[in-house]
Amino acid sequence: MTEISLHGRVALVTGGGRGLGEAYCHELARRGAAIVVHDSGTATDGHGHDPEPARNVAASIVAAGGRATACTSDASTEAGGSEAVAVAVRDFGRLDVVVANAGIIHDDQLTDWPTDRFEAVLRHHLLAAFHVIRPAFAVMKAMKYGRLILVSSAAGVFGQPGLTGYAAAKTGMVGLMNVAAIEGAPFGITANGIMPMAGTRMADAIMGEAAQTADGRAFLDTLRVDQVAPVVAYLASEACHETHTVFSAFGGRVAALQVGVTRGWTSPTGTLTAEDVAAHLPEITDPAGLLVPASITDEMAFDV
């Protein structure tokens, strides 16, 4: 099989200063892409600002013979997201790939989640992605080429106790991906998602004290960043024609998320009652023959 190359391409990776984001930067650079390492350097709770992580990653790529620049703006703001895209175009003349990876984490039971924390998590994940993808999409549309990769999470798609804000934000990334994939198709722009798991700062924060136990460390050590970064490299490449798909990646396993609807039950008269729903629940929830729509229009058009 021909080696996947990103020579001549320019990639912007948000949250690129540490953890999985850093791994994405190095993998894309190793395959020839010029990298905008975007990271404001906040702590996992969203506080603080440190330009060094982004600068260090960019410097290490350059030292290895690659091309990279750091951007430390705050993508959770409209101006910060636009600045990241502008840096890519200014320094490298184009923008081919966006990996929307930035985010923070909080862990509270649902009844204890403060509104300001919920809003902060949405800003640093979902709005940060939107603020970068919207201006990037315009650049890609003009070039008639682009690769958008949105980092989601199984914690959102399937749920995880304590992560209300994180789960909501990460599931929102799938909605953003869905629309970007549909609108990008006529312009050669693919939009895909990834649900990664790896032993990073954020994983440590989620696990808390358990992450410092022998069993906890052993578990996290099985979830390596190098088991995820190659999936992102594929999605960032010309070899990828897949779009509108979310990939699960951890522990050496790669799988695709299928979001579908059952064939359900249709009232013969077109009207129904709550009692009808209760009576036909086995048919409504039967997963046999699951339908996987490509859009809301597809679901409405299915002949069930």
Catalytic residues: 166
Angstrom distances, CA of residue 96 to CA of 6, 133, 138, 190: 10, 11, 11, 11
Task: Report CA Rg, the chain.
Answer: 20
Angstrom distances, CA of residue 174 to CA of 192, 245, 275, 279: 8, 9, 34, 33
Q: Could you tell me if 124 and 101 are in contact, meaning their C-beta atoms sit under 8 angstroms apart? A: no
Q: Could you tell me if 86 and 36 are in contact, meaning their C-beta atoms sit under 8 angstroms apart? A: no
C-beta neighbour count of 59 within 10 angstroms: 14
Cα torsion 95, 101, 103, 107 to 10°: value is 170
| Listed residue (20, 7, 61) closest to 239, CA to CA | 7
Position of tokens 């895209």? 85
Q: How far apart (Å, rounded) are the C-alpha atoms in residues 34 and 97? A: 10
Q: Classify 45 as helix, strand or coil.
A: coil
C-beta neighbour count of 291 within 10 angstroms: 13
Backbone φ and ψ for 132, nearest 5 degrees, come out as -90, -45
